[in-house]
């Protein structure tokens, strides 16, 4: 993936933000969601600006494309939450909290990898 492809993706996100209409139809909601999309894109693209590993860059691009498609499909710019009890994954005998945390990280959907707090 080249720099121009990443910049093209960034421009696509900003174009989506400019033309975004909230599902509720309220001007205030539309403005809030547009600001969220723009701010989220700026934050994540700047956060990942120094990446040089092609695999990491490709994962970030796939996450961005997944979030775009989900947002456009559901008309909701916010990441869809995951509902999983902290100890809700099946465990083998003897595994403790650290193993559960590792399993939760592996089970996190592609579109939420940039959010550590979910």
Q: 71 and 14 in one domain? A: yes
Identify whether the C-beta of residue 72 lies closer than 8 Å to the C-beta of residue 16: yes
Identify whether the C-beta of residue 78 lies closer than 8 Å to the C-beta of residue 36: yes
Query: Domain for residue 35, yes or no?
Result: yes
Determine if the pTM surpasses 0.85: no
Domain of residue 100, residue span = 82-112
Q: 99 and 58 in one domain? A: no
Q: 108 and 70 in one domain? A: no
Q: 91 and 74 in one domain? A: no
Q: 26 and 12 in one domain? A: yes
Q: 89 and 57 in one domain? A: no
Q: 74 and 22 in one domain? A: yes
Identify whether the C-beta of residue 83 lies closer than 8 Å to the C-beta of residue 52: no
DSSP label at residue 80: P
Task: For residue 29, give both structure tokens.
Answer: 């909601």
Overall number of domains in the chain: 2
Q: 72 and 62 in one domain? A: yes
**What are the tens digits of pLDDT across the range 12-36?**
999 999 999 999 999 999 999 999 9
R_g over Cα of the chain: 17
pLDDT over threshold 70, residue 77 = yes
């Amino acid at each position: 993936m080249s720099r121009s492809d990443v910049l093209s993706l960034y421009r696509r996100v900003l174009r989506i933000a400019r033309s975004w209409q909230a599902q509720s139809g309220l001007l205030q909601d539309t403005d809030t969601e547009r600001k969220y999309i723009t701010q989220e894109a700026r934050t994540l693209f700047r956060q990942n600006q120094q990446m040089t590993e092609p695999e990491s860059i490709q994962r970030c691009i796939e996450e961005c494309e997944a979030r775009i498609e989900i947002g456009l499909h559901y008309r909701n710019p916010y990441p869809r939450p995951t509902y999983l009890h902290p100890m809700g994954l099946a465990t083998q005998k003897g595994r403790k909290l650290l193993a559960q945390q590792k399993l939760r990280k592996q089970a996190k959907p592609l579109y939420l990898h940039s959010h550590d707090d979910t």
